[in-house]
């Protein structure tokens, strides 16, 4: 049961107002009605946080932690184990809690809770395209619901589609997350010195973000120096930075689980001029995109303009990746949304709408043995406004010498 004495002691600011959460639920109900669903059982961690403010660190692969929403009225039920009594009790937007366990009776308890609320024979959406729980658990849930007379369909993206366009309150959080990220990048830049270990830079970044009120991102930071400067999807290692190294720093500023991605490359001492020339040319990609796309354009036009710029600048030879992803609220191990600026075939095109946030990457691998490293990169994040694209980072994209 929700512990009312704990709820009465909530003395810290919540991420959003109750009205903000109520508006999100309203939008989900409208989307359910359009999809001809009577209810949806939400298990995507990011969706749960977006709808309730619930923030939990361990979504077990066998656990169906979730939120049941109805299409006919503003009524929700949260399903979770008593292990999280404190979290549930201190999350004001959770008002009805169906207590479940971690044992073999967990799945029947979820089905029982849905049935007890008159939805056992309804049209229910579930979210099998997700990091948790395991696909076999979803298969069992679907079978159990169907056995009770429900008609079950895949609604994995229903809430995420709504999350892609941010409200004014969310945009304010995104802007703050961007400032937190920029301050942390400045702290990392200032900490780069001969003998500093890559993991020390990670500590500097996290200390800066936490001190500013931010949180752990949904993805580990990527930091690489010298021979590791062209790293992709690699966390910092126990390598000490040497004079002449390039230092690649890529992380997300995070506030209330909202992410703003920033990546910059530094050089400890003067770099080989070929690195400088490559990054100077590449830096113009962001202005080209800002000037080349407008509200209402397909999101894929960002990709087209970026590719055209890179080709015209003669940089294609060293490209590892030019592209980007939608951003917003995310929980580990995920950090970005499902929409890419080069659309995923199964999801199709989306159009630039005020309130969307996405990143754009220019990532280069150089296998020609240039002194200093194996690659260099930058990443910017963009907010779509009524007037076009706003770049959220203030740091230069050129190779910065420290």
Supply the pLDDT for residue 62: 87
Residues of the chain with pLDDT > 70: what percent?
100
The residue with tokens 């990527």 is 222
pLDDT(367) > 70:
yes
pLDDT(250) > 90:
yes
pLDDT(72) > 70:
yes
What domains sit in the chain, N to C, each tagged with a CATH number?
4-162 (3.40.350.10), 164-401 (3.90.230.10)
pLDDT(105) > 80:
no
Band the pLDDT of 99: cuts 50, 70, 90. very high
Contacts of 311 (CB under 8 A, 6+ apart): none
In angstroms, the CA 263 to CA 205 distance is 12
Supply the pLDDT for residue 65: 95
C-alpha 300: how far from its chain's center?
A: 19
pLDDT, tens digit, for every residue of 143-168? 999 999 999 999 999 999 999 999 99
- For the segment 272-290, the average pLDDT, to the nearest whole number, is 98
pLDDT, tens digit, for every residue of 16-63? 999 999 999 999 999 999 999 999 999 999 999 999 999 999 998 888
Supply the pLDDT for residue 131: 87
User: Using H for helix, E for strand and C for coil, what is the string for 261-308?
Assistant: EEEEEEECCCCCHHHHHHHHHHCCHHHHHHHHCCCCCECHHHHHHHHH
Supply the pLDDT for residue 365: 98
pLDDT(202) > 90:
yes
pLDDT(353) > 80:
yes
Q: What is the mean pLDDT of the chain?
A: 96
- For the segment 279-307, the average pLDDT, to the nearest whole number, is 98
pLDDT, tens digit, for every residue of 169-183? 999 999 999 999 999
pLDDT(102) > 80:
no
Ordered DSSP codes for 181-192 = HHHHHHHHHHH-
Exposure class string for 241-257: b at 16+ Cβ within 10 A, else e: beebbbbbbbbbbbbbb
Read off the tokens for 335. 């950090």
- Pick from 12-26, 100-114, 283-297: least confident: 100-114
pTM: 0.96
Q: Which of 349, 182, 362 is nearest to 288 (CA)?
A: 362
- For the segment 373-387, the average pLDDT, to the nearest whole number, is 98
């Amino acid at each position: 049961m929700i512990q009312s004495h704990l709820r009465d002691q909530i003395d810290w600011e919540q991420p959003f107002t109750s009205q903000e959460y109520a508006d999100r639920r309203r939008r989900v109900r409208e989307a359910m009605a359009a999809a001809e669903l009577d209810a949806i059982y939400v298990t995507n961690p990011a969706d749960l946080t977006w709808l309730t403010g619930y923030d939990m660190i361990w979504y077990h692969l066998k656990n169906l932690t979730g939120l049941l929403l109805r299409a006919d009225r503003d009524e929700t039920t949260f399903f979770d184990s008593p292990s999280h009594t404190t979290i549930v009790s201190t999350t004001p937007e959770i008002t009805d809690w169906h207590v479940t366990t971690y044992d073999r009776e967990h799945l029947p308890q979820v089905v029982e809770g849905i049935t007890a609320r008159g939805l056992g024979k309804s049209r229910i959406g579930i979210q099998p395209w997700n990091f948790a729980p395991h696909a076999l658990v979803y298969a069992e849930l679907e079978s159990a619901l169907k056995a009770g007379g429900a008609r079950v369909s895949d609604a994995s993206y229903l809430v995420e589609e709504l999350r892609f366009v941010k409200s004014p309150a969310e945009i304010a959080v995104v802007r703050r997350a961007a400032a937190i990220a920029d301050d942390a990048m400045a702290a990392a830049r200032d900490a780069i010195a001969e003998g500093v270990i890559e993991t020390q830079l990670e500590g500097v970044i996290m200390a800066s973000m936490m001190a500013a009120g931010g949180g752990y991102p949904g993805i580990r930071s990527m930091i690489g120096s010298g021979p590791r400067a062209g790293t992709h999807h690699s966390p910092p290692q126990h390598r000490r930075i040497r004079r002449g190294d390039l230092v690649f720093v890529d992380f997300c500023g995070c506030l209330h689980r909202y992410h703003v991605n920033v990546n910059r490359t530094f050089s400890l001492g003067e770099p080989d001029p070929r690195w400088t020339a490559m990054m100077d040319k590449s830096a113009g990609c962001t202005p080209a995109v800002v000037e080349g796309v407008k509200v209402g354009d397909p999101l894929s036009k960002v990709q087209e303009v970026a590719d055209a710029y890179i080709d015209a600048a003669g940089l294609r030879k060293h490209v590892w990746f030019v592209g980007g992803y939608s951003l917003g609220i995310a929980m580990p191990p995920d950090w970005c949304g499902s929409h890419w600026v080069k659309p995923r075939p199964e999801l199709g095109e989306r159009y630039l709408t005020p309130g969307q946030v996405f990143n754009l990457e220019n990532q280069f691998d150089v296998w020609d043995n240039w002194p200093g490293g194996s690659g260099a990169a930058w990443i910017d994040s963009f907010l779509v406004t009524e007037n076009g694209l706003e770049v959220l980072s203030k740091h230069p994209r050129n190779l910065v010498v420290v």
